[in-house]
Each structure stands twice: as structure tokens, then as C-alpha cells.
Structure 1
Amino acid sequence: MKLQEQKPQNSSSSRKKMIPPYMKAVSGSLGGIVEACCLQPIDVIKTRLQLDQTGTYRGIVHCGTTVSSTEGVRALWKGLTPFATHLTLKYTLRMGSNAVFLSVFKDSQTGKISNHGRLLSGFGAGVLEALTIVTPFEVVKIRLQQQKGLSSELLKYKGPVHCVHTIIREEGLRGLWGVWAGAAPTVMRNGTNQAAMFTAKNSFDLFLWKKHEGDGKILQPWQSMISGFFAGTVGPFCTGPFDVVTTRLMAQNQQGSELKYKGMIHEIRMIYSKEGLLALWKGLLPRLMRIPPGQAIMWAVADQVIGLYERRYLQNAP
């Protein structure tokens, strides 16, 4: 009789140990703020390299030194405001929606989630963030980052708000959202990247630290950084072409009647025929310099926030 009475208690306890989606969202938003401030220069260099079709920059170091010497060190933080806001909102939605999707794929009997379910949950979170947040914020960020010069008076876009107003005035709302040619590669990039990242992060936590969500084990920041770093290395290799395509589609001005790139497939064919296959992975090294460290920073913050919630509420739950 005692054993039979303990089973529902254990089942109830396991249900209480699920991290609510809103806590995942909060942890992601805080992690995004810290990541943006630390890694913005790498993102600027990546964007400049991807837009460079004339060989102006000879590599990462040359690009960084050229930008800082000709435009000032602050130019390496161009687009920080939309980038930080973008990351904060993106991680909030990504972490929260992924938690919601995971609850859908959770086995009602065992409480376990298969790798298949984690992949689909990550992909769904990536698609959602791509369509609702990533598109307009990255358009503004890339338009700001591609500008060259020292004097703000000579720049077309004076800042994030002015950039938004100018794009809408010249290109219509579709310049930021709606019927936009960059939606397809952005969906593919973010969906694939998040599917790989969430699945890999969970696998590395289990393999390296024997960590299960809600088990009360709080990872040290350095442990979260290692898992996050390794998880962040998978996406850039898989999504390199989509990232290049997205960047160039976002950068081109839609005010004129003729656009160089008419869509994802058209752009891939043009890049391949004119610049070669490897051009589809332009900016891969700076992406690897930004995304894995960025994921390491984000998860170090997010896991501590989630760990604090586990320690204060889940483990003390009756």
C-alpha cells in the first residue's frame, strides 16, 4: 500500500518540476542583452565581409582594423541598439516558444521528450522568431552596418528610428515586413539553427554534466558556457548559405525598379556562378567567432536564471 501511495506523489512531483515558459523567456532576454553588448563588433565585421564583393577586406582582422581606423572604433558597435533589442526580443520568444512546443511533444506517461520532438520544437521556435522579430530588426541592423563613413551628416540612415522611417517612406512597409524576399532564407536559417542548437545543448548537458531539466542540479557558469559553445558551432556550418543570402537580400534597396537578387534561389545561383561555391559560406569564420561565444554567454546567464528558479521554487515544492 505504501508503494502504491508513493507513485502519484512522485508523478505529481515530476510535473511540478517543469520550468514554466515565462521563466525560459526571462532567462533568454537577460542572456541576449549581455551577448549583444559583448559581441556586436564581430557581427559588424561579419556583415561587412558578407557584403564585400570587391575584395576590400582581406580578412577578419583587416576588416576590423580598417573599419576602426577609417570610421572610428565606435563604428564596430554600429547597429547596437537594434541588435540588442533584436536579440532580447528574439531570445525571449525563442526560449519561451521552445518551452511551449516541448510541452506539446512531451510524453504524458514518462514526461520524456524525444530528440525528434526537440528538433521539431527548436525548428518551430526558429520559424516563429524569424517571421515575427528577426526580419525587421535585421533589415535595420544590416542597413546601418553597411554604411561607411565618419560623418553622420553624410550617412543616409542617422539611426535605428530614422532608418525605419526612411525604409517605410521609400520602400513601403514591405521593406521591413510583409512580402519580403528575405523571409524564406531567414526561416530556413533560424529554423534549422534552433533545431540543431536546442537539441545539441540538451545532449551536451546530458553527456558532459548528467544534467536533466528540473533535476535540481545547477550548472556552474563555465559548464553552461562549454555546452552552449559546442551547441552553437553546429548551426553556422548548416546555415551558412542561408545567412549570406539573407544578408544580401536585406541590404539591397527596394526603391528602384530592378533588384539584383529577386529571391533566394535566384541569389544562390548568381553567387555560385559569379563568385563560386565557397562564396555561399562567406563570413563563416566571423560567424563561428560570434555565434558559439554568443551562445556560451547567453546560456551562462540563462542557466543561472533558470537554476535560481529551480533552487527557490521547484526544489522547495511540497
Structure 2
Amino acid sequence: MGGGGGGGGEDQKATKKSIPPYMKAISGSIGGVVEATCLQPIDVIKTRLQLDRSGAYKGIGHCGTTIARSEGVRALWKGLTPFATHLTLKYTLRMGSNAVFQTAFKDAETGSISNQARLVSGFGAGVLEALMIVTPFEVVKIRLQQQRGLSPELLKYKGPVNCAVMIVREEGLRGLWAGAAPTVMRNGTNQAAMFTAKNAFDVFLWKKHEGDGKILQPWQSMVSGFLAGTVGPICTGPFDVVKTRLMAQGSSGADAKYKGMFHAIRTIYAEEGLRALWKGLLPRLMRIPPGQAIMWAVADQVIGFYERRHLQNAPL
């Protein structure tokens, strides 16, 4: 991202300095905390809709009001602790690793990076976050979210730590990586599209080029982030539904309904129809684009603060 600065040889030299990956990692982690707190209810509703095979919920509004009426408003924040923790770690790894990959692909002379390199860098960042952070945290989150009610004595899992321990005890360590394959495909594709689209919208809408010394206003970052966040969910809907089903089924043995990613896709299509592979798309679109808007508004300002303070030597 850019920093403040005008013309002159010294300013031109300053704008060529790059933001260190650790600063991009920090900016993403701060944005992730804010995003998780604001948007957790949408994530709970999305999970319940994806797990609904009997048509108990008539839509987003009905699902949300049913949960609040039957389980209490607090139930809309079920799984917040693992969700917030996993978002913070995920964005730290995503932003940091993407910056490292992009640095490796940058032209040594001009410091520019091609769109193909942006796609590869984003996909690589998505794969890393899926395997190292997203899958185990989402397994725990989904198991907690699918539990109905708030009375502790009626719940199998008493909290995120207890849930993780019970999964390992009953299903082995691999149980925490249920649904890893569709998660890798979903996150890799999502991040390849998101990083490339965010840069493209910054250039198209605001004439903002990375490293040009221009810092976007928070509302501009939110517009670019929102638009960039709409592409992935539409493309990766089936991967997200399959991921949720595999993580929720709680068994990897012979009695498991879904044997893997491709078997799950075929089974869902055969039993529930093509539209079922995009179940929960609307709440995903209600959660991910606003989430990206919030995250980028925070991240761009954190990066801009670093540039003004350390790269441009301009007063705050």
C-alpha cells in the first residue's frame, strides 16, 4: 500500500521502499478482530442454513429469529472465541504470506508485479491459511454452532478447548482437519481472486497503485474491499457447503455419510439438487464482502500509518 508523499527525488526514493510483510500481517490481524466481532451472527446463520436438510429454516431472517427465539440472542454469537481467534491468525498469515510471495515475484528493476503473479501469490496464501489455521478452527466452530440450545448440561461440547479435545479423543488428530480438501480449494481460490480484485478496484476506482504514495480514505478502502469480497463466494459456494458438511458429520469411518470432497458433491447434488451446492450463499455474501470492507479499511490505515511514520518521514 502507498504512503504519503509528493514529488522530488527524495520522495521518489522513499516511495520505492516496500512495506515489510510483518506490517501487512499486523494490519490484517487487527482488521480480523474487528470483523469477527461485527459479523459473527451472519456466520452462525450461514452454518445453520448449510446444515439444514429438512427445510426447518425458511431463509436468513427466519433462521436468525428462530435461533434468537428458541435459544436466546447470545446463541447468534456461538463459536465467537474460535472464530475471532482463527480470523486473527488467518489474516496474519494471509497478509504476511501474500506479501512474501509477492516480494518473490516482483520485478527487480521496477518493483512491479503482474496480475498472474498476484493470482499465484493469493492462491498460495489461501492454501497456507487453509491447512495451518482455517480447517481446525472451522471444525471446532462448526461443531459448536450446530449445537442447539444454551443449557451447558445438554450440550456435548462445553467450549472451544473442550470441543477440540473431544474431537481428537473420539476421531483422532485428523478429525480436526476434516474437510481440508474443499477448504484448500475454497480459500486458495478466494484469496487469489480477492488480492487481485482489490488491487484492480483500487486502480480503477481511485487511481491508487501500490507504492505510489497515495493513502486511501477508509470509505474508499471499504468500497474496494467490499467489491473484491463478492467474487470468491459465488465461485466457491460448492466447496464451502461441502467443507461444512464434512466438518460437521463427526465421523471419518465406514459409517460416514460423505467419504470425501467429490463424493460429497455428487451426493448432495443427487439428493438435494444443484441449488443445494450454493446453500448459504446469501449469508456468505452478507458476511464476506462486508467483512473484507471492514478488514481493508482497518488494514490500509495501519499500513498508511506505518508509511507516514517510517517511510515518508512526514508528520502525523
Other-structure match for 2:153: 153
Q: 1:283 to 1:144 in 2, by over 3 A?
A: same
User: 1:29 and 1:110 mapped to 2: Cα distance?
Assistant: 29
Please report how far the alpha carbon of residue 212 of structure 1 lies from its aligned counterpart in structure 2 after TM superposition. 1.8
- 1:216–1:311: 8 Å Cα contact kept in structure 2? no
Please report how far the alpha carbon of residue 183 of structure 1 lies from its aligned counterpart in structure 2 after TM superposition. 1.3
Q: Considering Cα pairs closer than 8 Å and 6+ residues apart, tell me whether 1 or 2 has the greater RCO.
A: 2
Other-structure match for 1:103: 103
**Structure 2 portions without partners, runs of 5+:** 1-8
User: 1:150 and 1:210 mapped to 2: Cα distance?
Assistant: 50
Other-structure match for 1:50: 50
**Deviations 1:263-301 (CA, angstroms, capped at 9, x unpaired):** 000000001111000100000000000000000000010
The 3-state SS of whatever aligns with 2:210 is: coil
Corresponding position: 1:114 with 2:111: no
Other-structure match for 1:300: 297
Count of residues paired in the alignment: 307
Please report how far the alpha carbon of residue 139 of structure 1 lies from its aligned counterpart in structure 2 after TM superposition. 0.2
Q: 1:262 to 1:73 in 2, by over 3 A?
A: same
Corresponding position: 1:223 with 2:232: no
Other-structure match for 2:241: 244
Please report how far the alpha carbon of residue 65 of structure 1 lies from its aligned counterpart in structure 2 after TM superposition. 0.2
Structure 2 residue aligned with 1:314, among 296, 308, 311?
311
Other-structure match for 1:214: 211
Between the aligned residues of both structures, percent identity stands at 80
Q: How high is the TM-score relative to the length of structure 2?
A: 0.94
User: 1:256 and 1:56 mapped to 2: Cα distance?
Assistant: 28
**Structure 1 portions without partners, runs of 5+:** 1-7
Q: 1:90 to 1:185 in 2, by over 3 A?
A: same
Other-structure match for 1:183: 180
- 1:214–1:314: 8 Å Cα contact kept in structure 2? no
Q: 1:214 to 1:40 in 2, by over 3 A?
A: same
- 1:170–1:255: 8 Å Cα contact kept in structure 2? no
Other-structure match for 1:4: none
User: 2:162 and 2:180 mapped to 1: Cα distance?
Assistant: 23
In the alignment, residue 29 of structure 1 is paired with which amino acid? S
Q: 1:11 to 1:221 in 2, by over 3 A?
A: closer
Please report how far the alpha carbon of residue 13 of structure 1 lies from its aligned counterpart in structure 2 after TM superposition. 4.0
The 3-state SS of whatever aligns with 1:66 is: helix
Give structure 1 regions of 4+ aligned residues with deviation exceeding 6 angstroms: 8-11
The 3-state SS of whatever aligns with 2:294 is: helix
In the alignment, residue 207 of structure 2 is paired with which amino acid? K
